[in-house]
DNA sequence: TTGATACCGAACATGATGTTCAGTAATGAC
DNA sequence: GTCATTACTGAACATCATGTTCGGTATCAA
């Protein structure tokens, strides 16, 4: 209920101007109750990403990536998710909440990418940096999408993402180019 | 004086816990005076980037990029700048201020990159997205650097950045690969 | 019936914000 | 040297969100 209330409010007004009072009014919940569960509105927002995490890794589990080629299976799940909550993301980017939301988003992406590129090895770039780089690549495309071109479909933007990232992977992972083009 | 005071404080304590009172005490300035110049501490932080902008575009002006190949001249200036204020950046990333700092940083990068890739044309990705993508690539490498491996030198990290971005440019810009490798 | 658990909501202390205002210091023109 | 302008001072203030406390209520299970 609290998460839903927060999302409703985010669509209605700027995140920074939302107070705990607004949230509990919207959710029809007592003040003490709120603080019994969450440390504050930022905490509430952060924990909202738990749903996304569950969704993401559930899909990952279904499609295990056995071979050495990074297929970035999860990226389509990510773009589908963002498309679903596009309005929320657009509202979050550009508020002070973005430091929380983007940070959480980034953590998730790195976590999801790490196993994908476990077998890769770039000659001159540490694998950890590569993981962060790809994570931020997703974030980059997503931000451009929701902020400047929300009219585009998830599939189209996803394809642009693949175009941009494929050559990077090609430099680090054997046959990554083909894998990226195929999936 | 106010900018210096804020930087001192950022090194000493977490940005989020810094108040306007702290800043004016440190700078030995009256409260009313502060608000006469800045709308708040976030505004002060934001305007701090004006120095960086000046530095960046001054260098750009000195090294005009006449031909069609994006040399990303400015990127070395960026990494030098970050190295100089590494401690500040590290402190900023991970605070709520990062939404402000990163946003401002990103704007600057996009602004600087746009003319560099003016002559480029990716077959399947809009040029504007490419500009944002490269801007965020810088940000990505910088964040990884200051947050996780601050012991590395700017030159080393800069080289990693080139390695990661070169193949992307190669796909969009004629002879970009060579230009990136040379400069 | 009893105990546990969770929720309510008013009240409160705290602390930061941004504004106001009367008074002071410095700069520059005439 | 005087006057006007401009900028700074610092205390006081109203406002507002925060997070906590506490007595009381509802629900559910043993």
pLDDT tens by residue, A134-157: 999 999 999 999 999 999 999 999
With a pLDDT cut of 90, the percent of chain B lying above it is 69
Q: How far is the CA of B41 from the C1' of D6 (A)?
A: 24
Residue A181 has pLDDT above 70, yes or no: no
pLDDT digits (tens, 9 = 90+) for A94-140: 898 899 999 999 999 999 999 888 888 888 999 999 999 999 999 99
pLDDT at A66 over 60: no
Query: A11-49: b or e for each residue (b if 16 or more CB lie within 10 Å)?
Result: eeeebeebeeebbbebbeeeeeebeeebeebbebbbebb
Q: Which of A47-56, A73-82, A87-96, B168-177 has the lowest mean pLDDT?
A: B168-177
User: Is A159 in contact with B129 (Cβ distance < 8 A)?
Assistant: no
A57 CA to C4 C1' in angstroms comes to: 36
- Cβ contacts of B79 within 8 Å, gap of 6 or more: B142, B154, B155, B157, B158, B161
- If pLDDT is split at 50, 70 and 90, which confidence band does A179 have? very low
Q: How far apart are CA B130 and CA B177, in angstroms?
A: 16
In chain A, pLDDT over 90 holds for what percent of residues?
69
And the tokens for B79? Answer: 């990494």
Of B122, B144, B164, nearest to A168 by CB-CB distance is: B164
- Contact between B117 and B67 under an 8 Å Cβ cutoff? The reply is no
Chain D nucleotides covered by protein, CB below 7 Å: 7-12, 16-23
A133 to B140: CB separation less than 8 angstroms, yes or no = yes
pLDDT (0 to 100) of residue A58: 81
At residue B150, φ and ψ (nearest 5 deg) are -65, -10
Question: Given this model, what pLDDT does residue B89 score?
Answer: 96
The answer to whether the CB atoms of B98 and A95 lie below 8 A apart is no
State the pLDDT at residue B175: 54
Radius of gyration of chain B (CA): 18
Burial class (CB in 10 A: 0-12, 13-18, 19+), A54: exposed
Mutate to test the interface with A, among B46, B92, B99 (most CBs of A within 10 A): B99
In this complex, the residue of A130, A144, A167 whose CB is nearest that of residue B167 is A167
* Residues of chain B predicted below pLDDT 70: 60-72, 174-183
pTM for the predicted model, two decimal places: 0.89
Mutation site for B-interface testing, chosen from A14, A133, A143 by largest number of B Cβ within 10 Å: A133
Question: CA B81, C1' C27: Å apart?
Answer: 37
| Dihedral-angle region of residue B95 (phi above 0 means left; psi in -120 to 50 means alpha; beta otherwise) | beta
């Amino acid at each position: 209920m609290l998460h839903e209330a927060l999302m409703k409010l985010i669509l209605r007004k700027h995140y920074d101007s939302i107070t705990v009072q607004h949230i509990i009014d919207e959710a029809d919940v007592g003040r003490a109750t709120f603080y019994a569960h969450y440390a504050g509105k930022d905490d509430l927002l952060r924990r909202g990403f738990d749903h996304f995490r569950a969704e993401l890794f559930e899909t990952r589990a279904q499609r295990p990536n056995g071979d050495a080629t990074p297929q970035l299976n999860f990226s389509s799940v990510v773009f589908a998710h963002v498309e679903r909550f596009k309005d929320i993301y657009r509202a979050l980017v550009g508020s002070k909440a973005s430091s929380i939301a983007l940070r959480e988003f980034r953590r998730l992406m790195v976590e999801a990418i790490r196993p994908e590129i476990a077998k890769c090895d770039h000659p001159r770039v540490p694998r950890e940096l590569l993981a962060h780089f790809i994570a931020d690549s997703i974030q980059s495309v997503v931000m451009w999408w929701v902020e400047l071109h929300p009219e585009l479909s998830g599939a189209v933007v996803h394809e642009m993402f693949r175009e941009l990232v494929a050559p990077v992977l090609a430099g680090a992972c054997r046959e990554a180019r083909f894998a990226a083009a195929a999936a």
